[in-house]
Structure formats: structure tokens, C-alpha cells
Amino acid sequence: MNAKTSEPAASAGAPATDWLACPSCRALVYRKRFERADGVCPSCGAHAPLSAARRLEALLDPGSARPLTAAETVHDPLSFADLKPYPDRLSAARAATGHADAVRVAAGTVSGHPVVVAAMDFAFMGGSLGVAAGEAVAMAAEAALARRAPLVLVTSSGGARMQEGALALMQMAKTAAAMAALDEAGILTVTVIADPTYGGVAASFATLADVVVCEPGARMGFAGPRVIEQTIGQRLPDGFQTAEFLLRHGLVDAVHPRGELRRTLAVLLASARGHPDHTGPARAGRDDRVAELPRPAPAPVVRDPARLAVRSAPEVVAAARDLRRPTTRDHLAYWMDTFVELRGDRAGADCPAIVGGLGTVEGRAVVVLGHQKGHTTAELVRADFAMASPAGYRKAIRLARLAEKIGVPLVTLIDTPGAHPGIEAEQQGQAGAIADCLRVFTGLRVPVVAVVTGEGGSGGALALGVADRVLIAANALYSVISPEGCAAILWKTREESPAAARALGLDARSLLELGVVDGVVPEPEGGAQADPAAASLTLRDAVLGTLDELAVLDPAERMRRRRRRLRGFGLPGPTATGTDRARFEDIDEEESA
Ligand SMILES: [Zn+2]
């Protein structure tokens, strides 16, 4: 392995017991300080390898760890020998680490939340995945399943253990099956990628977790850099396969320093606690916790169009596009007690125009995702002007599926001029990605609330807009096409966009009349731009109140109503509005009382 991953060596000239030289920056570090920081260099932040035992100590609450031991496995199935017989290598590794193989498992708690942790030890034969390691990971998954506790895997491995031949290879499939069982059971899985994670571990359980967090600088990939360089005959770019590279390419959710991992895990575990059986009534399981919480005031939502002022179309368009309005990141900052941003489509890209993650609002676990604009040109550029790529929609689907898996409501915030029009977007399947959003969102069994917070532009907006309830901020708009685009096509000149805006009925009042939205969330005097904090908190209360209304329905009934809502769009008769007003009767009564 390269110098970066080797154990920091005692520096010559300094007392070996007291001082270390950081292998990255060569700074002399007081050994005790280095150990207190769990192997992170205080000068340059480099993360040195951590033994599995130290890792369990660093992650779990003090005194909470109970070691779990995997079943006995075959030791040398092939009677393998290279330069040395395999049993000799095993004995040496066992003597050096004091452990039977490369994975240690413990049940315990993180900030009081029950969890099962399996940690790999690179010091044990390069953390290679043999039968015993595969068995330990599978056992850890089964223990998590039996306890209905989330599973955390800390990976560090060169790949499959060659000395155990095809049986080592099969551990990839064994562990993948164990992860799939946790998916079926709705149990959260998290991987912490430590340097390095390659080959069979990267291509099985490491990347199958719901959330993949990397330590800074940690490298992960299928093929190692040397193999790739030899095969393609090219030098690899700096930083190839590092955590930061993986994040940029949408392959991992986040990069968090070792010192922050416990806090990150605590947020994730708190949000996924006590997942209910989806098929049971919503009142079971986690919703007991919701019931314990103080009931918020009824959602501040206007459901009668007559109570809304009639406004001119150009005024509506200008207000909806005002860059001072709170963005999705602003709402997240105002709303969330705790939050972990989750990034990437896990297929090669992370789209900055859609952001989202998992956390809690007023004590309630939610997955929130939405289009991200910006207040300045620089922020808009960074967010691709909120015009999402297929990777953005695939990220949205990934987060929606996570919400579904762990039984947490989904909230989407819509604010986009439209999906990104471009060559790459088309090559990567923009149309299919949007269509897939629509399909996945129709089938979610968890409560879904969508809010048009600014500009609801066309299919790129609707992709996040299939929900049990769709709300719109009073100054937002929602339209099949931009007024400029409509004018250019039908009036043959963009000058006529005010006329197009009027004709399209894209304002909140018109949309409520059409039943395209179920409620309008009032904005402060002067619009959300005048008082972003107040506007955002009103929106939050509207969302929480709406989620409470939805929580009393069982999932099957919720889904039936969601589909009926979609089916009713444009039909004449009592459900002509698309809003099934009958189901609001009790709420309207409450409101007028
Ligand atoms: Zn250093």
C-alpha cells in the first residue's frame, strides 16, 4: 500500500513512545493527541487507518458495545500456498491483530440509538474479504434484522481474499443478499468508507447501503489505480477515486471527517428509528411518537379560491421568480432540527439543481428534497439555475425510495424554470428520468407533500410534484410552459409573454380553482422576499399540518386517494377540480370553526 495508508511511523530522534510523524505532512504529532483524535493528524487532517476495535470504540456510546461473534467457518478450503502457506499468513495476522479475522461486529448504541456495527480491519491481511469476513458481515446484517436496528458498516479492504479462491468471491453475493434482506425489512443501512475500499468489498456491501459516507481522502473503487494504469497505459488524474472525486461523481452521499461521524450517524439513526410495517395502519410504530408530540395548529392553508386576491399575470411571474425568495437550502436551514444532506445518483453524477436529505423537523423524521436556485448569479451558476439533469431526478428517486424504505414522509419543494435542456441531459435520458419520477412517486406508501415554492416550470417541476397533497406558496406559479416559451410558439413573439401568462392561468388562485393544487400557503406582506424567515416558517407549518392530516390514513387508503386524485384531473363532475373536496370536508369544518 502507499505511504498514506501505512501506520504513522515513530520519528527518528524523538522518543518513539511520545511522538509520531504524520505520514502525509511529516509534522511531528504528540502520540496521545493523535490517539485522542482517533488517528486524525491535527496539522493536515489526514486520516490514518484505525483498527476495527478502535473504530467500534470511536463510534459506539461508551460501555454500550456488546461483541457479536460469527459462526465458525472453514479456514483454508484450498490448502492454499503461495510463497508461504495460507495458514501461516493467517496465524501471523491473528498474532499481529489479536483477532480471528478482518471484521469485528458489535451491537450497541450511538447517542442512545440502537445499532449493529461491523468494522473492517485493514491490518488483517489488507482487510481482505474471505469466508470469515463475509460470514461476519452477513451475521451483522442478521443481527440488525433480528433487533430491527440499523446496520453500520465501516469498510477498509483491498478486495476478495485470493487464498480462499471462489469461496471468497461468493462472499460478495452472500453479503449482498444479507443487505437485500434489510432493504425488504425497511432497516436503514449506512456505510462508512475508510481508506482504502476496493474490489469485492466495494462491489458488494460497501456500496449497497442506503447512505454511503466517506472519510476525507478515502479511496474507493472496483479496480485499483495500479491495475487501471497498467491496463489503459495512462497516468490517472490526481485525486482519482478519492472521497472528494466520488462525491463529485455522485457515487457517495457525503464526506465527513472522522470526528463528525458519530454525530452524522446519530442524525441518521434518529430519523430511521422504529420503522413501521407499511402494510399496517399509519398509527402503528413510529406514528406513536408523532402522536406524543404536541399537535401543531391546523395547517395555515387557504383552500377557497374566493379568499385569494386576483393578481395580474406579470406581477405573479415577477414575484415567483424574485431571487430574494427563500431557496430550498434556506427552507432546510429554517426548518430542520437535524439534517444530513445526501448526494448523488450513485451512477456517475451529482446534480446541484436538486438537493435533499434526511433529518427531523419539529421532532418528526422526514426526507426533504427540492430544486435549488440561488440569490446571486454565482449561486445560480453553482446550482445550474435549478434546471435539473437526469442525475438530479435519479437522486430524487433514490431519496424517495429511501423515505419509502424506512417509512418516513417525503416533502418536495418545487422551484425550477424547467428541466435542463442540453445535449448531455438528452444523452443521459432526461425524458425517462422525469417519467420515472412520476411513476415512483405515484407508488410511494409513505405520505408525500409537494410544495411549489417559487417557479413550477413544466415537466421538470411536476417530476417532484406527484403527491398526496400539493400546496403552492401564494406568490408562486405552476405552468405547462414558461410564458415566454408559450408566447414564442403561439403568438410567434416573446413580447407577448404577459398575454401568455394571463392565458395560462399559472397563478395560485387559478391553480386552486382548477384543483391542480389543494391549498395555497399565505406569504407575508410584500411576499416571501420581504420576510424570508416568516414565509419559510409558515410554509413549514403548512407542511407539518398537512403531514398530520395524512398520517391518520392507512398507507393503502392514502395511495388509493393519491391515484384517484391523479385520475380525476380534467374530468367533469364533483371531482372535476381534481381535488377530491369530500376528503377536505372535516378539515374545512375545523377551519371555519
Ligand atoms: Zn499531517
25 assigned binding-site residue: yes
CA dist 423 and 428 (Å) reads: 9
Whether 591 shows a pLDDT value over 70: the answer reads: no
Q: How far is the CA of 29 from the centre of ligand 1 (A)?
A: 8
- Using the mean position of ligand 1's atoms as its centre, give its distance from the Cα of residue 47 in Å: 8
pLDDT of residue 292: 53
Q: What is the pLDDT of residue 47?
A: 96
Split at pLDDT 50, 70, 90, the class of 275 is very low
> Beta strand pairing status for 354-361 and 336-341?
antiparallel
CA of 147 to the centre of ligand 1 (A): 40
Cα(5) to centroid(ligand 1), Å: 12
Tell me if 135 sits within 8 A of 73, measured CB to CB.
yes
H/E element holding 533? Answer: helix 532-551
Q: Which amino acid is at 350?
A: D
CA of 28 to the centre of ligand 1 (A): 8
pLDDT of 296: 54
Dihedral angle computed from the Cα positions of residues 393, 394, 395 and 400, in that order, rounded to the nearest 10 degrees: 90
| Inter-axis angle of helices 430-442 and 555-567, nearest 10 | 130
Q: Measure 45 CA to ligand 1 centroid, in angstroms.
A: 6
Euclidean distance between CA atoms 571 and 344, whole angstroms: 39
Tell me how far apart the alpha carbons of residues 553 and 409 are, in angstroms, rounded to a whole number. Answer: 13
Q: Does the pLDDT at position 102 exceed 50?
A: yes
Segment 536-556 shows an average pLDDT of 95
Amino acid at 110: V
How far apart are the CA of 46 and the centre of ligand 1, in A?
5
pTM comes to: 0.90
Instruction: Classify each residue of 40-56 as buried b or exposed e, where b means 16 or more C-beta atoms within 10 Å of its C-beta.
Output: bbeeebbbbbbbbbebb
**How far apart are the C-alpha atoms of 373 and 134, rounded to whole Å?**
44
pLDDT band at 233 (very low <50, low <70, confident <90, very high): very high
Report CA torsion sign: 437, 443, 448, 450: positive
pLDDT tens column, 19-52: 999 989 999 999 999 999 999 999 999 999 999 9
Omega prior to 574 cis, within 30 of 0: no
**Contact of 303 with 546, CB cutoff 8 Å:** no
Q: What is the mean pLDDT of the chain?
A: 90
pLDDT, one tens digit per residue, over 146-195 is 999 999 999 999 999 999 999 999 999 999 999 999 999 999 999 999 99
Cβ count within 10 A of residue 564: 13
Contacts of 328 (CB under 8 A, 6+ apart): 355, 368, 369, 370, 371, 372, 373, 413, 415, 453
The pLDDT of residue 255 is: 98
Q: What is the pLDDT of residue 17?
A: 74
Look up residue 292 and give its three cell numbers.
406524543
**361 alpha carbon, distance to own chain's centre:** 16
Residues in contact with 74: Cβ distance below 8 Å, sequence separation at least 6, in sequence order: 131, 167
Question: What pLDDT score does 279 carry?
Answer: 30
**CATH numbers and ranges of domains, the chain:** 18-48 (no CATH), 49-272 (3.90.226.10), 305-563 (3.90.226.10)
Query: What pLDDT was estimated at residue 208?
Result: 98
The predicted pLDDT at position 592 comes to 40
Q: What tens digit of pLDDT does each residue of 344-364 get?
A: 999 999 999 999 999 999 999
Q: What is the pLDDT of residue 294?
A: 54
Is 41 marked within a binding site?
yes
Residue 197 has pLDDT above 70, yes or no: yes
Alpha carbon of 40 to ligand 1 centroid (Å): 8
Q: How far is the CA of 43 from the centre of ligand 1 (A)?
A: 5
Count of residues in the chain:
593
Dihedral sign (CA 426, 483, 527, 546): negative
- For the cut 80, the answer to whether the pLDDT of residue 66 exceeds it is yes
